[in-house]
Amino acid sequence: MSLSIEQFQALALDESVYIIDTRPADLFVDGCIPNALNITPATIKFAIAMGVLTKETPIIFVIEEDQIAETMAYFTKAEFSQIKGYLQGGFSSWLDASKRFDLIIEVEVDELAMDIPFDEYLMVLDTREEDAFNKQHIKNAVSLPLSEMGDPGSMSELDEHFNIYIITDNGESNTLAASILKKQGIHNIRIVKGGWEELLQIKHKFSFETTPKKSAEEDPSLN
pLDDT digits (tens, 9 = 90+) for 42-60: 788 878 888 888 899 999 9
**Can you tell me whether residue 165 is helix, strand or coil?**
strand
**Do 52 and 12 sit in the same domain of this protein?**
yes
Q: Does the pLDDT at position 215 exceed 70?
A: no
Domain that holds residue 89: 2-96
Residue 110 lies in a domain: yes
Q: How many CB atoms lie within 10 A of CB 76?
A: 11
pLDDT, mean of residues 216-223:
52
The last residue of one of the domains, among 35, 62, 96, is 96
Separation CA 160–CA 83 (nearest Å): 33
* The pLDDT value given to residue 219: 56
**Do 110 and 202 sit in the same domain of this protein?**
yes
Separation CA 135–CA 149 (nearest Å): 21
Separation CA 136–CA 210 (nearest Å): 5
Find out whether 7 and 85 touch, Cβ atoms under 8 Å. Answer: yes
Q: Does the pLDDT at position 140 exceed 80?
A: yes
List of residues 6+ apart from 222 with CB closer than 8 A:
214, 215, 216
Element (H, E) at 91: helix 90-96
pTM of the model: 0.88
* The pLDDT value given to residue 5: 97
pLDDT, mean of residues 108-135:
95
pLDDT band at 217 (very low <50, low <70, confident <90, very high): low
> Residue 118 maps to which CATH number?
3.40.250.10
Q: Does the pLDDT at position 218 exceed 80?
A: no
The single-letter DSSP state of residue 214 is P
Summarised one tens digit per residue, pLDDT across range 79-91 is 999 999 999 999 9
pLDDT, mean of residues 167-190:
91
Residue 176 lies in a domain: yes
Separation CA 206–CA 208 (nearest Å): 6
pLDDT band at 69 (very low <50, low <70, confident <90, very high): very high
CA torsion through residues 6, 10, 15, 19, sign: negative
pLDDT, mean of residues 148-158:
77
Tell me what percent of the residues of the chain surpass a pLDDT of 90: 70
User: Looking at the 3D structure of the chain, how many domains does it have?
Assistant: 2
Separation CA 35–CA 117 (nearest Å): 32
Q: What is the mean pLDDT of the chain?
A: 90
Q: Which residues pair with 138 in a beta bridge?
A: 208
Separation CA 34–CA 70 (nearest Å): 24
Residue 165 lies in a domain: yes
The last residue of one of the domains, among 59, 74, 96, is 96
* The pLDDT value given to residue 216: 46
pLDDT, mean of residues 11-31:
95
Q: Does the pLDDT at position 105 exceed 60?
A: yes
pLDDT, mean of residues 134-162:
85
